[in-house]
Structure 1
Amino acid sequence: MAHAQRNRSIGEEPVTSVLPDGDVPYDSGHAFSADEEVLAALGYKSEFKREFSLFTTFCVSFAVLGLLPSFASTLYYGMGYAGTAGMTWGWIVAMLGIQCVAMSMAELCSSMPTSGGLYYAAAVLAPPGWGPFAAWITGWSNWCAQVTAAPSVNYGISAMILAAASINNPNYIPQDYQVFLLTVFIMILHAILSSMPTKWLAQFNSAGSTFNFLALIVVIILIPAGTNRTDRDLPRFTPSSEVWGTIYEGTAFPPGVSVLMSFIGVIWTMSGYDSPFHLAEECSNASLASPRAIVLTSATGGIFGWFLQLVVAYTVVDIDAVLDSELGQPFAAYLMQCMTQKMTLAILALTIIAGFSMGQGCMIAASRVTFAYARDDCFPMSKYWRRVNKHTQTPANAVWFNCAIGILLLLLIFGGELAIGALFSIGAIAAFVAFTIPIFIRVFFVGNRFRPGPWNLGKFSIPIGVFASAFVALMVPILCLPSVVGAELTAADMNWTCVVYGGPMIMVTIWWFVSAHKWFKGPKVNIEHMMLGRGEIVEGQGPTIDGKDRDDSSGERPRSDKMQQLKE
């Protein structure tokens, strides 16, 4: 579907230097690589070593996806809202929309391979005058998804560790403070590891992703092969008519809506495929490798995730018992229904190790997002969060900033299951909103004026983008629905996603109109909407080249002398 185009030097494009003298990303003593030329044209200096390849980028992305631990952490939603029907054909329906979002995102990544990712794309693609606001909303929504990822993953891992302890000792009942302290400990470990040099990170995550993939395959084989349902006077597998045709009444809504509500598990599980976009500035041949890693992650995750859903759907014994188990972790409760204790503990061990790698990948991706936004002064005290450690050449300050925010969010553990469960809902809805804003703008405001990169969707670009936008527009309100309605709806049963996500987003919107619009000009855009094929000046950046006015008498925009030297 994607097709290659000839890569050109930025010296061949009408590039304008909009950075102040002394900060133009040009060094006369340095031979620019193709990746550095692209980044310079987009307005940024290359500040990281490009030690990620297609494979290692995919490894980080697949580790962030973390199919096995993600599925284990969100089983309550996938199974609890619609039962096995939501896990079988419901997963397929959800993946159609998710894959369209991933492909549209990959096309944007190929055109604009920066750590800012979606935030940068929204600013460039937005209509004149709206770039900074589009970047502001996209950036904050994406940051909400990123900063909640590691805490939610690590919370799920901690719950599984303590559930395993409870299986070994039935008299032990995990306490909230124990879950909190264990999760904080894992967060700190991840922060230390995420501050390592890029080369070490690539190697560590390659190993973690390989283990993730192997553990997933082992569990998919182990569950149907090792189930002891027959020892409990049950058929080895539940009949297909029941698995595919019975919708569990887990909500007060009609069956179709319940299936859509169960998509929260699919969306949260599959939300890590944007990681290659944020690692683009550390990836070699980023215009091709990064978009390929996005699509490869989404497709691989979708296929193998569905296989995992199938084996669980065909072997689960009692959904009510899974959801209400005293173990406090549905996946552990499910395993105890159809496996021996030793087998249960073995699968939990594999899931916990894979989850640790996943949490690590989430923290890496989140730190790159924080660095990219701080580089454009999006946060208070941005000058601290955008610093790159001179020893490791990684944004260590951003890592620890995110770690501190994540630990504060973990205080929701003391608010009960629904309160901490909001972290999963926020991750799903915030990520999808951020993913789709630039796609929506590209489809409905830019259209055929979009200048794609070497990886693109060709004539299928607009239809796929339209379907992706429609899918997200449908899912956003669905993800905010509570499972019960009417007189039965209490504060304890409320879906707090709309408050926990909507509240901060309303606050940053108010902040924009009160103050931020005066000083936040969006990402630095060092190329005059080249990917749009239009002649407007980028919002917030005047028509000057090294202090000289544009010569409007010519049909083309003159090149900056400094940027022209890049070609030479």
Structure 2
Amino acid sequence: MPASQHLEADPLVIKSTQTVLSVDDMPIESVLSGVDRKILVDHPVDHDEAVILSLGYKQEFRREFSLFTTFGVSFSVLGLLPSIASTLWYSLAYAGNAGITWGYLIGMVGVMAVACSMAEISSAFPTSGGLYYATAMLAPPKYKALLSWIVGWSNYFVQVTGAPSVGYGCASMILALNQITHPDYVFENWHCYLLTVALTFLGAIIASAPTKWIAYINSGSTILNLVFLFISFVVMLGGNNRTEQGLSKFNSNSIAWGIDNQTDWPDGICILLTFMAVIWTMSGFDSPFHLAEECSNAQVATPRAIVMTASIGGILGFVFQLGMAYTIVSVEDAVNDELGQPYIAYLNQIMTQERVLAIGSFAVVLAFTMSFSCMIAASRVLFSYSRDNCFPLSRYWAKVNTITRTPVNAVWANWFIGVLLCLLMFGGVAIDAIFSVGAIGSFISFTVPTLLRITYARKTFIPGPWNLGKFSYACGTLACSFVLLMIPVLNFPQYRGADNTPDLMNWTVVVYWGSMLLAVLWFFVYAHKIYSGPKSNLEKGTVVSGNEATQVIEAVVSSNHDVHFGPDDDAALEKIPEKADYPEN
């Protein structure tokens, strides 16, 4: 049963100012579409509010993000420098320099296809729960609840593992730098755990701040990202001490672009395995989608921010890693160094200790900003999904704090879950699974609505003002093909056969697929009774049928009060008596 049919209007209350918004006259497909619903609001609405109301949701956030500040959050979530540093285990350690040069470029082709397809979807459904909302709107009615449930949980697994994985990477770099200055220091897992908990705790405090504060903070962190990345790149190329070691200033092309297969798989599979690094690094481009309800001109700014994040991040990431490939002394030594952090070990190969500490500190600072940016996006996901009763205790996570006007409860719920996830580091290599979850979970949730858009909903999809036009199907097909290829590959371990010991196992199979299995079982056992897909949270009495809306309009006009019409609601004008004298909006 459509969610709109659950809405029963209370006796009509006439306000001194009444805005009448016709959902069917908005170029949007939503849970309220197709049943002649009108939304009554006691204040004039702009286009952004008209869109979110038509999608079935109240405007609960302040729209204080612009294109630049939305890009700022997503670029901070992308966190190029700390992301590259944290995922060298999957690029440099698998295929050598090829993993960070031409392997990265090939992976970026697939990533950009996914990003552009998602941007088109975000323009049509600019809500913080957009991925799973779009899935429900584009899926066959019989399967919309199940598919949106799977997409929602898959995306949530990505979001909830983002901050702890970044926090873990940040803590690892701090401890590696400490080992450089204190050679006698003995690294213990509990040191890393407590430091990770402390860093994410501070990040949760920042993520709980008002939207305007968050916008300012992330604008600053975006500038820091660009400045620190540039300084690190310049020092890496111009300030390295390779010549003092009797080496040439830079590696030859054959070394910089050469493959050094350090897996038990053929070279082709080896390169595919390195895509985990680029997929995880670039997965933050979905953040603007989750901030759509806090962004002005969301139908245009949100997709633009997604494409800007993926393209700018992809280009800068390639250039930076290209510099690494031309300056690294030994891939094997960087990967196997006792510091336990390939990026810091790489810096230690080509720089003095003072420069290592300085450049390494840049990555630490950016990793911290990345962690709280991840928390911001994750809290919006938990909030939006909880509006539709997707999670246990949803009523608590769907609350907006009255002071900050942000979902503070959701922030701290995610932090607590992250603290528990970090216990995986006591299981050795199992902690790596939270990186793999971020890669596989994100691209599954990103691509399901795209697959539906180019198949079942090919003729019914209503594109937003930002769309791919005639390239939509080609881009969507490439995106879906890339993800279909990568789903099994992301579950492969580095070694196989007798070499694949429990300590070296790829635990994604257990952590991600085990979690998804539990989520799906829960749906069939109980959740299907309380969850039927996205539903409107508009108050009773604000959503009425066409006849009731006409009565309200006539009553307001006869009382000499103001009637406003929502953007694109020209059809409502035809229902007003000709003698009425009303102000147009």
TM-score after normalising by structure 2: 0.87
For residues 494-513 of structure 1, the aligned pairs below 5 Å read 494-513=505-524
Distance in 2 (CA, whole Å) between partners of 1:512 and 1:290 is 31
Structure of greater Rg: 2
Q: Tell me the equivalent position of 2:15.
A: none
Instruction: Return the match for 1:421 from 424, 432, 438.
Output: 432
SS of residue paired to 1:170: coil
Q: Tell me the equivalent position of 1:138.
A: 151
Q: Tell me the equivalent position of 2:400.
A: 388
Distance in 1 (CA, whole Å) between partners of 2:312 and 2:116 is 13
Q: Does 1:155 align with 2:168?
A: yes
User: Structure 2: any 5+ residue segments left out of the alignment?
Assistant: 1-20, 554-562, 570-584
Distance in 2 (CA, whole Å) between partners of 1:455 and 1:560 is 36
Distance 1:469 1:560, change over 3 A: farther
Q: Tell me the equivalent position of 1:542.
A: none
Task: Render the CA deviation track for 1:399-451: whole Å, top value 9, x for unaligned.
Answer: 000000000001011111x1111110111110011101111111121113321
Q: Residues 123 and 135 of structure 1 are in contact (CA less than 8 Å); yes or no, is this contact kept in structure 2?
A: yes
- Superposed displacement of residue 470, structure 1: 0.2
Distance 1:461 1:352, change over 3 A: same
Distance 1:521 1:11, change over 3 A: closer
Distance in 2 (CA, whole Å) between partners of 1:165 and 1:489 is 32
For residues 287-306 of structure 1, the aligned pairs below 5 Å read 287-306=299-318
Q: Does 1:76 align with 2:76?
A: no
Distance in 2 (CA, whole Å) between partners of 1:268 and 1:381 is 30
Q: Tell me the equivalent position of 1:4.
A: none
Distance 1:167 1:34, change over 3 A: same
- Superposed displacement of residue 561, structure 1: 7.2
Instruction: Return the match for 1:53 from 66, 69, 76.
Output: 66
- Superposed displacement of residue 329, structure 1: 0.9
Amino acid corresponding to residue 211 of structure 2 in structure 1: T
User: Structure 1: any 5+ residue segments left out of the alignment?
Assistant: 1-7, 528-544, 551-557
- Superposed displacement of residue 13, structure 1: 3.8
For residues 341-380 of structure 1, the aligned pairs below 5 Å read 341-380=353-392
May I ask how many residue pairs the two structures share in their alignment? 531
- Superposed displacement of residue 315, structure 1: 1.0
Task: Render the CA deviation track for 1:491-537: whole Å, top value 9, x for unaligned.
Answer: 1111111111000101111111111112101112699xxxxxxxxxx
Q: Which runs of 4+ in 1 moved over 6 A?
A: 14-17, 547-550, 558-564
Q: Does 1:471 align with 2:452?
A: no
Task: Render the CA deviation track for 1:291-319: whole Å, top value 9, x for unaligned.
Answer: 00000000000000001110111111111
Amino acid corresponding to residue 399 of structure 1 in structure 2: V
Task: Render the CA deviation track for 1:306-357: whole Å, top value 9, x for unaligned.
Answer: 0111011111111111111111111111111111111111111111111111
SS of residue paired to 2:145: helix
RMSD: 2.4
Q: Does 1:401 align with 2:413?
A: yes
Amino acid corresponding to residue 425 of structure 1 in structure 2: S
Q: Tell me the equivalent position of 1:126.
A: 139
Q: Does 1:117 align with 2:134?
A: no
Distance in 2 (CA, whole Å) between partners of 1:182 and 1:465 is 42
Amino acid corresponding to residue 459 of structure 1 in structure 2: K
Q: Tell me the equivalent position of 2:240.
A: 227
SS of residue paired to 1:185: helix
Task: Render the CA deviation track for 1:77-119: whole Å, top value 9, x for unaligned.
Answer: 1101111112111111100000010000000000110010101
Q: Residues 73 and 373 of structure 2 are in contact (CA less than 8 Å); yes or no, is this contact kept in structure 1?
A: yes
Instruction: Return the match for 2:200 from 174, 180, 187.
Output: 187
Q: Tell me the equivalent position of 1:64.
A: 77
Q: Residues 260 and 475 of structure 1 are in contact (CA less than 8 Å); yes or no, is this contact kept in structure 2?
A: yes
- Superposed displacement of residue 250, structure 1: 1.3
- Superposed displacement of residue 12, structure 1: 2.9
Amino acid corresponding to residue 248 of structure 1 in structure 2: D
Distance in 1 (CA, whole Å) between partners of 2:46 and 2:430 is 48
Q: Residues 115 and 277 of structure 1 are in contact (CA less than 8 Å); yes or no, is this contact kept in structure 2?
A: yes
Distance in 2 (CA, whole Å) between partners of 1:284 and 1:166 is 46
SS of residue paired to 2:418: helix
Q: Tell me the equivalent position of 1:203.
A: 216
TM-score after normalising by structure 1: 0.90
Q: Residues 70 and 295 of structure 2 are in contact (CA less than 8 Å); yes or no, is this contact kept in structure 1?
A: yes
Task: Render the CA deviation track for 1:370-418: whole Å, top value 9, x for unaligned.
Answer: 00001110000000011100000000000000000000001011111x1
Q: Does 1:177 align with 2:165?
A: no
Instruction: Return the match for 2:339 from 323, 327, 333.
Output: 327
Distance in 1 (CA, whole Å) between partners of 2:265 and 2:508 is 18
- Superposed displacement of residue 549, structure 1: 12
Q: Does 1:450 align with 2:464?
A: no
Distance in 1 (CA, whole Å) between partners of 2:525 and 2:443 is 26
Instruction: Return the match for 1:27 from 21, 32, 41.
Output: 41
Q: Tell me the equivalent position of 1:534.
A: none
For residues 491-530 of structure 1, the aligned pairs below 5 Å read 491-524=502-535
Distance in 1 (CA, whole Å) between partners of 2:515 and 2:96 is 32
Q: Does 1:42 align with 2:55?
A: yes
Task: Render the CA deviation track for 1:188-246: whole Å, top value 9, x for unaligned.
Answer: 101111111110010011101110111111112210111111111111111102221x2
Distance in 2 (CA, whole Å) between partners of 1:560 and 1:204 is 48
Amino acid corresponding to residue 269 of structure 1 in structure 2: T
Distance 1:394 1:121, change over 3 A: same
Amino acid corresponding to residue 412 of structure 2 in structure 1: W
Q: Residues 176 and 340 of structure 2 are in contact (CA less than 8 Å); yes or no, is this contact kept in structure 1?
A: yes
Distance 1:126 1:549, change over 3 A: farther
Q: Tell me the equivalent position of 1:340.
A: 352
Distance in 1 (CA, whole Å) between partners of 2:319 and 2:133 is 35
Q: Does 1:168 align with 2:181?
A: yes
Distance 1:319 1:113, change over 3 A: same
- Superposed displacement of residue 173, structure 1: 2.3
Distance 1:47 1:168, change over 3 A: same
- Superposed displacement of residue 174, structure 1: 1.9
Task: Render the CA deviation track for 1:144-187: whole Å, top value 9, x for unaligned.
Answer: 00000000001100111111111001111221111100110011
Distance in 1 (CA, whole Å) between partners of 2:321 and 2:471 is 30
SS of residue paired to 2:89: helix
